Amino acid sequence: MVIRKISPNLALDHQVSLRRAAGEPIVHLGFGEARLPVFPGLVERLTAGAGRNSYGPVPGYPGVLRAVAGYFARRAMPTTEEQVIVAPGSKALLMALQLVVPGDVLLTEPCWVTYAPQALEAGKRVIGVPIPAECGGVPDPDALREAVRAARAEGANPKIVVLTAPDNPTGTTATPDLIRRICAVAEDEDLLLVSDEIYRDLVHDPGFEYLSPAEVAPSRTVVVTGLSKSLALGGWRIGAARFPADEAGLRMRADVASVASEIWSTLAGPMQEVAEYAFDEPAELVARRDADSRLHGALARAVQDIVVKSGALSRPPTGGFYVYPDFEPLRERLAHEGVVDGESLQEHLVSRYGVAVLAGVHFGDDPRALRFRAATSVLYGDTPELQRAAMEAADPTTVPHVAEALAAIELAFTFSKAAVR
């Protein structure tokens, strides 16, 4: 029997809304969404798709499957329509995968908050594996090999590894070398790789050499993606998955479609029209996405600079909109403030400095670690007007409301005595 509780994100949101209602200004870095307005072309497609009120095919209409296949093909993953499926969010597809693929799950520590509850809901064991020094989102290859063997020795059946690149929560992206080494372990140990590439189009440096495990180990990699992050469409719930082209892959796709038909039927018709347009990647949409990536990079680097200046450690962010600092070097000083672990650090930052972050423990990290995730996209502002001002600025860090929030973050992350609440 699975014990269900409110997710730590939602608990933090609730705390923030209570404080805001009490008149406190809060810089809410706890929420992992792109926080940008909808691109107008997407709204047009939503309206145009309104006539799709019939029950459509479970995996998606032919048009959207063609578009998704093209999206992957342009990323060095040749793909047919039979290999893909769309759904109301990549989360739904990740859950279906957990339900149809037997065996236990290896997750990085830290990782996205939803992977572990999904695995438990599917009756699996979760085996944590540490991340390498250079980035998160992938396990350290040697530690992965070790974890698989140790788990087997304890009677577990490790079969699935979830990878995230760029990563949530660390904001870093696995290098091709690391991906190749993970694929080699997967080959040796007969593991399935689930590659969550939902942040892929938000790599900050256009020259970054991105390698998907589906390029290296195509028969043992399922790729999931979605439009929530790259097009700021979290609330529209659009996800897609790509399965291996071989018989086992197509069988897995059929099983996922079967689960879909029992739980959510299919992606809403109007959203399929949106998805077809978006996965076709018209130039105007790509231009907007690229501009968004630059904005995400600029703000993530600005917060990273504050972190480094404060004396904390942090892997330089390379994709998405997260920074994941480690205040271990300041442990002694923080102990004087009663801050001794991730939870007390999170509480201290919000109650004393009005800066809301999510402690690493909520991502499966060591509870004692002085680590947390800061979602930097929240800095663009709460209204489409403020967000547009940030998007249009040559240097978004100088836009008044952004600069003000960065100043508040600097006071918080340097644990300044100047901040009085």
Which DSSP string corresponds to 194-253?
EEE-TTGGGBS-TT-----HHHHSGGGEEEEEESTTTTS-GGG--EEEE--SSHHHHHHH
**For the chain, how are helix, strand and coil distributed in percent, rounded to 5?**
50, 15, 40
Give the contact letters, 177-216, x = binds to a copy of itself (CB under 8 A), - = no: ----------------------------------------
Would you say 138 and 108 are in contact if contact means Cβ atoms under 8 Å apart? yes
Residues whose CB is less than 8 angstroms from the CB of residue 21 and which lie 6 or more positions away in sequence, other chains included: none
Per CB under 8 A, which region of 20-28, 111-119, 149-157, 340-348 contacts a copy of itself? 111-119
- Kind and range of the H or E run holding 54: none
Q: Which is nearer to a copy of itself, 52 or 348 (CB)?
A: 52
**In Å, what is the CA distance from 149 to each residue of 75, 144, 160?**
33, 9, 14
Give the whole-angstrom CA distance, residue 379 versus residue 296. 10
Per CB under 8 A, 43 contacts a copy of itself: yes
Q: Which is nearer to a copy of itself, 258 or 397 (CB)?
A: 258
* Touching a copy of itself, residues 55-84 (CB under 8 A): 55-56, 58
Among positions 81, 126, 134, 264, the unique one binding a copy of itself when judged by CB under 8 A: 264
Per CB under 8 A, 53 contacts a copy of itself: yes
Is the torsion defined by CA of 48, 52, 57, 62 positive or negative?
negative
Per CB under 8 A, 95 contacts a copy of itself: yes
The count of residues interacting with a copy of itself (CB under 8 A) is: 58
Tokens of 60: 């998606």
Q: How many CB atoms within 10 Å of residue 1?
A: 3
Per CB under 8 A, 384 contacts a copy of itself: yes
Per CB under 8 A, which region of 47-55, 72-80, 290-298, 316-324 contacts a copy of itself? 47-55
Q: Enumerate binding residues for a copy of itself (CB under 8 A).
A: 1, 4-7, 10, 31, 33, 35, 37-38, 42-43, 46-47, 50-56, 58, 88-89, 91-92, 95, 99-100, 102, 114, 117-118, 121, 228, 232-237, 254-255, 258-259, 261-271, 384
